[in-house]
Amino acid sequence: MALSFSHFLMKPARTITVAACMALASVSGALAEGSDVGLSFTEASEIINQALDKKVTCWLGKSYTVAFHSFKPEKSPLTPRVANLLHQQLLASLTQKAPGCIDYISVVGAGELLTRMNDINALQDKGVERVTAIESSLKDADFTLVSNLYELGQTYYVELSLSDQKLGKTLVSSGAIAVPERFKSSTCGDGAMSFEAAVKDIARNFRLRFSDVTILVPEGVSFRNSDALTDFSLYLGEALKQTLEEAYFNRVAGTGLMIKALSDENFDKVRKDRSVTTSPGDADKKRLDIMDLDKAKIFHLSGHYWPCDGDRRTVNLSVTMKNWQNESATWKQFVHLDRLPPSIRLTPQSGRIDALSRNDEWDAPSQFSFKLSSNRGSKPSFSPGEELFLTVLTEQDAWLYCFYTDSEGGMVQFLPNQTQDQHDSKRNFYAKNYLHIVPDEDKSPLPDRYNLKINDDTVGVEAVKCLATSRDVTNELPHDLRGEEFKLIPERTASHIRAIFEALPDTKLAEQSITITVRN
């Protein structure tokens, strides 16, 4: 395993005899596998509409809305125009044979939605952008349909995931839909600019778009749709920081941009001051010593890149600047990397990147707010032998169940675990609105007696997934998920974890994941 689970006091694992319901591991209809690759738009639409037809009852004028979210521009390898066309084609296919009481609404072309919003003057609010207001209204929909666009081999695919918004549970996934060739707007690399010109153009465009930036928090430019960082990610990050500092420097006033990264050094401040916190943003402001600054002037810098097939020195690059009021701008262009040092790798050293690229973008339905980060931020990079800490913040009291997946695909559970009292229902309990650390030697009433350390022989892309529940469900889970032993979870269970938790009765559920890059 890539993660060392070491502990200070080992207690014998105790087996709790509870009848495990095998149906939990394979819940019918809870999550469709979508094993058939290359579905047509029509076939995928039928899967979604059939799931809706089973869920609703069309009578007496009752109608239901499905909020169909378009692709995130910063995570799409297609141009915004082409991604829009693809979204509209999917929407047309979905509406063609939808149940009579189902209305699909979308940010793109949501005429009916805009009319409804005008009735409540949502669009007249000062400072509220049209798209922001639409997205806010979509929260009232009965169902949510998320579209995930990713690259696999030399083909683009889309997957659709339908969720019951009120219950916060996944109903069905379409499986992979092959994107037709006509939606590829241009050959990868057409009109590419040099790396040096691209970096300067990014800085110039962001400077024009956001003139008043005080703090910039770099999060990294990731490989494809994953959060995996590479040699190129670090190389580009340094170039962007230097060029942005130059672009924002005011020679007359002698002021400029301050770049502050989430690091082990400022993580120590979190340990010392963990008073009640109401938002992840406030937690980061405390950590970076910027509590008194205007949120509109604090920006995060992130992005993604997709190497061109057959041309490993040209990439499709997307970089986004976004402040803590959700104002953002995205720069996207093909970039030639022929002048980069040969030692700069474009791909991660190892890891199941295709799986991470497909799963990372899913907005898993949650029934309460739950935020997960680490001692090095939301896209952490570690070296072998270094220690991992998680930060946790929930809007309601919750019990956490956390899992680590290594670069070879093996999964282990580290919360709850065998170092804790197996009879203590609070061993994995975390109070609301408080910034928690996992593991925490100062945890009350009993300190955590384990730590999480990256193994010395580890390299590649790994991940942490945590599920938060509104009550203690440990004894209702299969034995492999009760934290009784630190061992590999069987694949048949690991691949159904979300479905297993969703099947639990009278339980609110939230889920968060972070990708970890391990570099030697």
Note the pLDDT tens digit of each residue in 58-80: 887 788 999 898 887 777 778 77
Please check the confidence at residue 275 and state whether its pLDDT lies above 80: no
pLDDT of 474:
93
Q: Which of the two residues, 355 and 207, has the higher pLDDT score?
A: 207
Q: 328-336 and 370-374 as β-strands: parallel, antiparallel, unpaired? A: unpaired
**Cα angle, residue 5 at apex, residues 496 and 515 outer, rounded to 5°:** 55
pLDDT of 239:
96
Reported pTM: 0.76
Q: How far apart are CA 401 and CA 396, in angstroms?
A: 15
Q: Which of 373-377, 467-471, 472-476 has the lowest mean pLDDT?
A: 373-377
Please check the confidence at residue 429 and state whether its pLDDT lies above 80: yes
Please check the confidence at residue 2 and state whether its pLDDT lies above 60: yes
pLDDT of 234:
93
The pLDDT-based confidence of 12 (bands split at 50, 70, 90) is very low
- Residue 5, classed as helix, strand or coil, is strand
Q: Which of 118-122, 159-163, 183-187, 442-446 has the lowest mean pLDDT?
A: 118-122
What average pLDDT score do residues 406-435 get?
A: 87
Q: Which of 213-217, 228-232, 271-275, 327-331 has the lowest mean pLDDT?
A: 271-275
The pLDDT-based confidence of 42 (bands split at 50, 70, 90) is very high
Q: How far apart are CA 258 and CA 248, in angstroms?
A: 10
Q: CA neighbours within 13 Å on the CB side: how many for 230?
A: 21
Q: What string of H, E and C letters represents the secondary structure of 295-345?
A: HHHEEEEEEEEEEECCEEEEEEEEEEEEECCCCEEEEEEEEECCCCCCCCC
Q: Could you identify the residue written with the tokens 């940010």?
A: 107
Whether 307 and 346 have beta carbons less than 8 Å apart is answered as: yes
Q: Give the pLDDT confidence of 348-366 residue by residue, as tens digits.
A: 877 555 545 444 444 566 7
pLDDT of 520:
79
pLDDT of 44:
93
Please check the confidence at residue 83 and state whether its pLDDT lies above 50: yes
Distances (CA, A) of 99 to 63, 231, 245: 10, 49, 54
pLDDT of 34:
35
Please check the confidence at residue 312 and state whether its pLDDT lies above 50: yes
Q: Give the pLDDT confidence of 217-266 residue by residue, as tens digits.
A: 999 999 988 899 999 999 999 999 999 999 998 877 777 888 888 777 77
pLDDT of 125:
40
Q: Which of 289-298, 310-319, 476-485 has the lowest mean pLDDT?
A: 289-298
Please check the confidence at residue 22 and state whether its pLDDT lies above 60: no
Which structure tokens are listed for 192? 């590419």
Q: Which of 12-21, 30-39, 85-94 has the lowest mean pLDDT?
A: 12-21
Average pLDDT over the chain, rounded to whole? 79
The pLDDT-based confidence of 14 (bands split at 50, 70, 90) is very low
pLDDT of 155:
77
Please check the confidence at residue 36 and state whether its pLDDT lies above 50: no
Query: What are residue 416's DSSP bridge partners?
Result: none
Strands ordered across the beta sheet of 258-259:
193-194, 328-336, 311-323, 298-308, 215-223, 258-259
Please check the confidence at residue 401 and state whether its pLDDT lies above 90: yes
The pLDDT-based confidence of 511 (bands split at 50, 70, 90) is very high
